[in-house]
Amino acid sequence: MKLAERLSRLPEISAIYSSDLKRLLKLLRRLLQPVASLRLITYLVVDGVIKDPDLRERHLGDVQGLLFREAAKVCPQAYRAFSSRWTDQVIPGGGESSDQLYHRATSSLQRICQRHTGKRVVVVTHGGFIRALYGRACSRRFRGIILNTSVNIFQISGDDVWTIKAWGDIDHLNQTGHSMSGFGVSKTPSVVSPVLT
């Protein structure tokens, strides 16, 4: 609810995009339902969100859905590919390499921004996807925690210059007693991670 209230105060949102994974959409609706009377939230609750499969989390192939500690035993080859430092390692079973995720994530956000030049867009997506965007904006990998419901603001200029205006911002949770920094180690009981451009 705190995140929904915060988003409802943003001026002139031209579009809202979301990963099309059912679990994320279900949680998004549940999060926003209590504040459906708010301007932005009304739009979301009535299915105005644009579902985009390119905004999905990284596909982990044969280790998809397994607990990390189980993966090494159940699918050792896929586990090694997933754990590799090499970013071009494709995970057996249809999984993506880190490089493939990076390309999909950055291309998706660029495509969305080109459709809405000069406008504010809300993108609801996943932690691995957001890490890839950080890599594009900062030319290095982010190794910390992406807190759920954190607000990460990316600005992409016409010259293809990416700037992070806010990272890991969970100020909207200040009344819940959770950590105020996305760079900390505390976890929040939340649902989605929007990226605002």
Enter the tokens of residue 38.
């708010």
- Give the predicted TM-score (pTM) of the model: 0.79
- Which pLDDT does position 179 carry in this prediction? 42
- Which pLDDT does position 192 carry in this prediction? 31
Enter the tokens of residue 54.
């390119």
Enter the tokens of residue 182.
């996305």
pLDDT tens-digit series, residues 39-54:
555 455 445 678 899 9
pLDDT tens-digit series, residues 129-188:
999 999 999 988 887 888 888 889 899 887 789 999 888 888 887 755 444 433 333 332
Distance between CA atoms of residues 142 and 134, nearest Å: 7
**In the chain, what are the domain boundaries?**
2-57+120-196
